[in-house]
Amino acid sequence: MRIDHVIYGVQDLDAGAARLNREHGLGFIRGGRHPGGTTNSIAPLDPPQYLELIAVADPEGQLARTLERWIDGEDRLVGWAIETDDLDAVAARVGLEPSAGSIENHDGSTGTWRVVGDANDNALPFFIEYDGDPDVRRRRWAERRADSGNNWVRSVTFVEVGADPDRMREWIGDDSIPVRCIEGERGVLAVGLATEKGEIVLR
| Three-class HEC string of the chain | CEEEEEEEECCCHHHHHHHHHHHHCCCCEEEEECCCCEEEEEEECCCCCEEEEEEECCCCCHHHHHHHHHHCCCCEEEEEEEECCCHHHHHHHHCCCCEEEEEEECCCCEEEEEEECCCCCCCCCEEEEECCCHHHHHHHHHHHHHHHCCCCEEEEEEEEEECCHHHHHHHHCCCCCCEEEECCCCEEEEEEEEECCCCEEEC
pLDDT above 90 coverage of the chain, percent:
96
Q: What is the mean pLDDT of the chain?
A: 96
Q: What is the pLDDT of residue 139?
A: 95
- CATH number of the CATH domain containing 16: 3.10.180.10
Q: What is the pLDDT of residue 120?
A: 86
Domain-embedded: residue 32: yes
Q: What is the pLDDT of residue 185?
A: 87
Q: How confident is the model at residue 184 (pLDDT cuts 50, 70, 90)?
A: confident
Domain-embedded: residue 14: yes
Domain-embedded: residue 162: no
Domain-embedded: residue 172: no
Q: Which domain holds residue 63?
A: 2-150
pLDDT tens sequence across 127-164? 999 999 999 999 999 999 999 999 999 999 999 999 99
Domain-embedded: residue 43: yes
Domain-embedded: residue 173: no
Domain-embedded: residue 143: yes
Domain-embedded: residue 160: no
pLDDT tens sequence across 54-76? 999 999 999 999 999 999 999 99
User: Domain count of the chain?
Assistant: 1
